[in-house]
Amino acid sequence: MVENSIKILDKVHLQKYVYLLFLFTSKQMEASAFEDLFLQIRREDNYWLNGSFNERIEKILDTFFLDIDEYVPIDLYDPNDKFNINEEELRKRSKETLNTLKNILDNE
C-alpha cells in the first residue's frame, strides 16, 4: 500500500511541472516567465527537495533543472559558451522532458 501511495504522490506532484512544461512548449509562456515560475515552484516544492520522488523521476527533474540553469536570454547568449543554451534549445529540452514525464504518467 505504501508503494502505491508513493507512486500516486509522485503523479500528483508531477502535475504542476507537466502543466508548466506544456504552457512553455505550446508557446503560451515566454522563456523568462517560464524560468522564473519553474524556479519559484521548485524552491517551494518540499516533495522534490526532500527527495520524495522515485529515483527515475528525480533524475529527470534534476537534469531539467540543470537545463533551466543553463538557459540565458538572447541578449546574453554566447553560442561559443558550451555551458549556456538559448530559448530554442530550452524549448527543445522542455518538450523532451514533457514527453518523458507524460509517458511515465500514462504508463505507470
| Helices 55-70 and 87-107, axial angle in degrees (round to 10) | 170
Instruction: Please give the pLDDT value at position 19.
Output: 98
Per-residue model confidence as pLDDT tens digits over 54-74: 999 999 999 999 999 999 988
3 state DSSP class of 71 = strand
Instruction: Please give the pLDDT value at position 30.
Output: 95
Domains and CATH numbers, the chain: 2-107 (1.20.120)
In angstroms and rounded to an integer, the radius of gyration of the C-alpha atoms of the chain is: 14
Q: What is the pTM of this model?
A: 0.88
Confidence of residue 31 (pLDDT cuts 50, 70, 90): very high
Please name every residue paired with 71 in a beta bridge, in sequence order, or none if there are none: 85
How would you class 84 by CB atoms within 10 Å of its CB: exposed for 0-12, middle for 13-18, buried for 19 or more?
middle
Distance CA 26, CA 80 (A): 28
Instruction: Please give the pLDDT value at position 1.
Output: 43
